[in-house]
Structure formats: C-alpha cells, structure tokens
Amino acid sequence: MEEKELLPHLFRTEYQKMVSVLCYTFGIEHIEVAQDIVSDTFLSATEVWSIKGIPENPPAWLYTVAKNKTKNYLKRDSLFEKKISEEIRYTTLASEQIEIDMSQKNIADSQLAMIFTVCDPSISNESQIALALNLLCGFGIQEIADAFLTNKEVVYKRINRAKEKLKEAKIKIEQPSKLAINMRLETVLTTLYLLFSEGYYSISQNTVLRKDLCAEAMRLNYLLVENEDTNQPQVNALLALMCFHASRFEARTDDNGELVLYEDQDESRWDRKLMERGEYFLNEAASGDKLTKFHLEAGIAYWHTHKEDTPEKWENILDLYNHLLILEYSPIAALNRTFALAKTNGKEQAILEAEKLNLTTNLFYHSLLGNLYSDLDDKKALAHFEMAIVLAHSSSDKSLILKNIKRLKKEG
C-alpha cells in the first residue's frame, strides 16, 4: 500500500486506538490534549515518511512517536502534569519514567472503557453516538452529519456538548460495571451499527463501499464478544448481521466500481467463510429470551446469503420484516419489506404498500417503485426512475438508474 493510501487507512484504524489509550491514562477531561498529540503524530508521519519512506512496521512507529510526544508534552507543560498527578495510574510522573501502554490488551481495554464512557446517560443519545463515532471510530464531522442526515454545525455542537458534560460530571474512564453495561449496551450497539452502515453505503465519500469502516465496526464488535460481561445475545446478533453483509462485499460492485443489484450478483464472489462466521454468531445469539432488531435483521441478512429465489426464502424474509416493524417501526424497513412482499404476493400488492409510505424525498422509494412498475406501467416506472436520479448522490447510483431508464425507453 502506497503512502497516500496507507496514512488515511492508518488514521482510520489507529487514531482512535491511541486516543483511547491516552484518555484511559489521563482521564476524559483531557480528550483534546489526547487528540492533539495523536493528530500531531500523524502530521509527523506525513512529513517523515515522505522523506525517509514508510517504516517496516507503520503502526508500531506511530505508537512510539505518540508515546514520545506525550512525554515531551508532560516535560513542557507543568500545569498538565500537576493536574493529572493525583489521577494518573502510575507511581511517578517523572516524564522519562512514564510508560504509555500500547499493547494490544491495553488498547482493547481502553477502547472498551471508552465505548461505555462516551455512552454515559448524562448526555443525550444523539450526542453519545456522535461522540463515539468521532472518538472511537475516527469519523469526521461531515461523515457523522451524513449518517444523521443533519448538518455539520449540529454535529459539532453535539460533540462539544457531550465532551463538556462528561468533564463536568467528572466521569472516569474505567472498565464498565454490569449495571453500566445493561444501561448503555443498546447505544453502543447502535453506534457500531451506524458505523457499519456508513461503510456499507457511504454518501459522504461518493462511493458505494468503504471496507475499512465496516472492518472497524466489526473489530469493535469483536471487542464486545471477547469480553465476558458484554458477550450478550444482541452483541452476537449484530456481529452476525455484519458478517452476512460483509460476505457479499466483493459481489456488490463490478470491475468498474459500479453497483451490482442483489439479483445480478456473482455468487462465486461471496465469502463463504464469513457466512459461516455469521451463522456461528447467529447461533450464539439464540440464547436468552430477548429478541432485538439485530436478531431480526441478522435473520433477514442470513436468508440473503441464499441466492435461490424460493418461496420459503421470501416468506421467511417477509415474516422477519413483519416482526421487525412490530418491534421497532422504521419507514425504511417498511420500504424494504415491500420488496419481499412483491416476491411473495405480487407486484400490485407491493406497490399499494409502498405508496402508502409516501417517502417522496427518498431515492430508494422511487427506485423501488420504478422496478415494481416496470412491465406493469412503464410510464409510471420511468417517472419514478427520473425522480430517483434527481435524488441520487453517488455516481454509481446514477449509473444504475440510467441503465433502467435506457432499458425502459428502448422497450417503449
């Protein structure tokens, strides 16, 4: 991987690890200091690597430089040293003796502690998720704004407000208690779900697939699975969902980077090992008596790993959507349900259900109706596809819609 590709990738995967370790060490009130030190570390990498080349072990280089910058900061900032002297986990604060632990175990412990710290109930759910996406997942303000369908100013205020509340409440970054886990796990899982979704279909970067984001969401989810207290059924269900979706990564785009619809995907490009991992975690999720939306969505994703267009498949998918909408209604889930309804009950009934949703500003609403009306009323189909292309953000979406428009015009 070349430097221009490697550094952004490492920033995504390593930045939040280093910030978590420094915050875990010094306390939540020093978030900005931790972020500044780590950002300066990546700036140094940009300068040094362009001259001396990429080191043999880039992450280790970053960790070493971050440690040294932390020590240098302590040397020159006596106020910071004085403020944290009573809180630090080490017996001495002499900067030359400080050891910032960047071992994989401490990184994992730090990130687990940080996940539950930023999801503290003293801040709103929206702010919890925004801060977690920013600190733990390396999301930029614009990316978070896109995920929330809001603007940058709103997200910026949410993140700053969340930081200030955590500081005011003097929340300690520590391994979560069982009570904290029970109270905050749903928000933690929602954060990881949003991260995976942003990677699976990104608007902000004008690309269909960003595997590094999805891999990061899965890595954080693995942290929860590997911890005895957080290894709960819904955690396994979300990881199963991620595995099933990720198993079809390679088939979702063609060699030109264009989006390939599910029906047209080359099944030989699906990752069978990831499917098997998904089945393993879905089985693990079956314990207990609590049914969550992650269980139901994982079940839907499981059936999509079976390419055969059988009545059993679509009846199971429709049934799972019906339960999902009862458990937690979502207009998008209702829209997706109509595709399964078309497969089981025919296009006419699906059109009636879809149009009731009236999601006239939604790209997928018009794309779906365009497909449903095709061969029934091509004039209406064309009108929906033309509206969809107006709403499309990515070039891949526009290209796919244009193909449908050209096909309809040719047949007409």
d(CA 147, CA 44): 30
Please indicate, yes or no, whether residues 214 and 236 belong to a single structural domain of this protein: no
378 occurs within a structural domain = no
Report pTM. 0.84
Q: Phi and psi (nearest 5°) for 258?
A: -85, 145
92 has pLDDT over 70? no
Please indicate, yes or no, whether residues 72 and 116 belong to a single structural domain of this protein: no
409 occurs within a structural domain = no
Q: Mean pLDDT score of the chain, rounded to an integer?
A: 88
User: What total number of domains does the chain contain?
Assistant: 3
205 has pLDDT over 80? no
Last residue of a domain, one of 102, 123, 139: 102
d(CA 367, CA 155): 30
Please indicate, yes or no, whether residues 94 and 63 belong to a single structural domain of this protein: yes
Q: Which of 239, 265, 263 is nearest to 250 (CA)?
A: 265
332 has pLDDT over 80? yes
Does residue 96 or residue 365 have the better pLDDT?
Answer: 365
Please indicate, yes or no, whether residues 173 and 249 belong to a single structural domain of this protein: no
Q: Which of 236, 218, 138, 174 is nearest to 27 (CA)?
A: 174
d(CA 90, CA 77): 18
SS3 call for 132: helix
d(CA 352, CA 355): 5
d(CA 274, CA 251): 14
d(CA 62, CA 23): 17
Does residue 288 or residue 185 have the better pLDDT?
Answer: 185
- Mean pLDDT within 267-288: 96
Last residue of a domain, one of 43, 67, 102: 102
Please indicate, yes or no, whether residues 219 and 133 belong to a single structural domain of this protein: yes
| Residue 410 banded pLDDT, cuts 50, 70, 90 | confident
Please indicate, yes or no, whether residues 135 and 204 belong to a single structural domain of this protein: yes
Please indicate, yes or no, whether residues 144 and 56 belong to a single structural domain of this protein: no
252 occurs within a structural domain = yes
Please indicate, yes or no, whether residues 225 and 143 belong to a single structural domain of this protein: yes
180 has pLDDT over 70? yes
Please indicate, yes or no, whether residues 194 and 286 belong to a single structural domain of this protein: no
317 occurs within a structural domain = no
321 occurs within a structural domain = no
Please indicate, yes or no, whether residues 118 and 202 belong to a single structural domain of this protein: yes
d(CA 374, CA 397): 18
Q: Which of 136, 183, 150 is nearest to 34 (CA)?
A: 136
E strand or H helix at 242: helix 233-246
335 occurs within a structural domain = no
Runs of H (alpha helix) within 285-376? 293-303, 311-327, 331-345, 347-357, 363-373
| 44 to 8, 68, 75, 148: CA distances (angstroms) | 14, 12, 19, 33
117 occurs within a structural domain = yes
Please indicate, yes or no, whether residues 117 and 221 belong to a single structural domain of this protein: yes
From 74-78, 105-109, 210-214, the region with the lowest mean pLDDT = 74-78
Last residue of a domain, one of 71, 102, 133: 102
Please indicate, yes or no, whether residues 58 and 110 belong to a single structural domain of this protein: no
pLDDT recorded at residue 247: 96
d(CA 130, CA 190): 11
376 occurs within a structural domain = no
State the residue range of the domain holding 34: 1-102
| Residue 135 banded pLDDT, cuts 50, 70, 90 | confident
58-76 helix and 3-26 helix, angle to the nearest 10 degrees? 40
pLDDT recorded at residue 80: 54
- For 132, residues 6+ apart whose C-beta sits below 8 A from its C-beta are 115, 118, 119, 188, 191
